[in-house]
């Protein structure tokens, strides 16, 4: 299960990294800052990305899940589940499930990407309008 949670966390991290980078790219394209400010914008984006990371590890998530899941079964039922999950068919199911979940996550992310890009573009355009309206100095 930890592998599954780790994969989900990795995919979320990649999506977050792409979203932050898209925002930075749009900002840099619009403002055309010098090298010094370009670095500052990139540093700020890295801080945002770091702040968006969850405070727990895949192991901690697995432990919490196991505690919640395990509380739904008696000790005898847990023994039966353990016997099943150590069987060849269950091991195959686990491998297939992980692979399918990874493929499913990638598929959903690819389908979501255009929506994400459009939303970020609208945000950038809105910020440009607000910047003009406020007559902020550059």
User: Could you report the per-residue pLDDT of 27-69, keeping only the tens digit for each?
Assistant: 888 888 888 888 998 898 889 888 888 889 989 999 999 999 9
User: Could you report the per-residue pLDDT of 78-123, keeping only the tens digit for each?
Assistant: 999 999 989 999 999 988 988 898 899 889 889 988 988 888 888 8
Task: Check whether 26 has a pLDDT greater than 80.
Answer: yes
CB-facing half-sphere around the CA of 79: CA atoms within 13 A: 3
If you search the block for the tokens 């389908």, which residue do you land on? 111
User: Could you report the per-residue pLDDT of 59-68, keeping only the tens digit for each?
Assistant: 999 999 999 9
| Confidence class for position 136, pLDDT limits 50, 70, 90 | low
The predicted pLDDT at position 137 comes to 59
Query: 124-127 long-range CB contacts below 8 Å, 24 or more apart?
Result: 124/23, 124/26, 124/27, 124/30
Coil/strand/helix, residue 87:
coil
Cβ atoms within 10 A of the Cβ of 27, count? 19
Please state the length of the chain. Answer: 138
Q: Which two tokens stand for residue 56?
A: 């727990």
């Amino acid at each position: 299960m930890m592998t599954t949670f780790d994969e989900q966390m990795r995919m979320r991290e990649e999506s977050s990294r792409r979203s932050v980078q898209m925002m930075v790219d749009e900002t840099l394209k619009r403002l055309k800052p010098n090298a010094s400010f370009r670095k500052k914008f990139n540093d700020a984006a890295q801080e945002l990305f770091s702040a968006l990371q969850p405070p727990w590890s895949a192991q901690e998530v697995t432990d919490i899940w196991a505690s919640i899941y395990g509380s739904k079964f008696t000790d005898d039922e847990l023994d039966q589940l353990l016997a099943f999950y150590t069987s060849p068919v269950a091991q195959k199911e686990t491998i297939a499930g992980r692979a399918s979940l990874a493929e499913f996550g990638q598929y959903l992310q690819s389908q979501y990407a255009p929506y994400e890009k459009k939303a970020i573009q609208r945000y950038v355009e809105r910020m440009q309008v607000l910047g003009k309206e406020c007559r902020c100095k550059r």
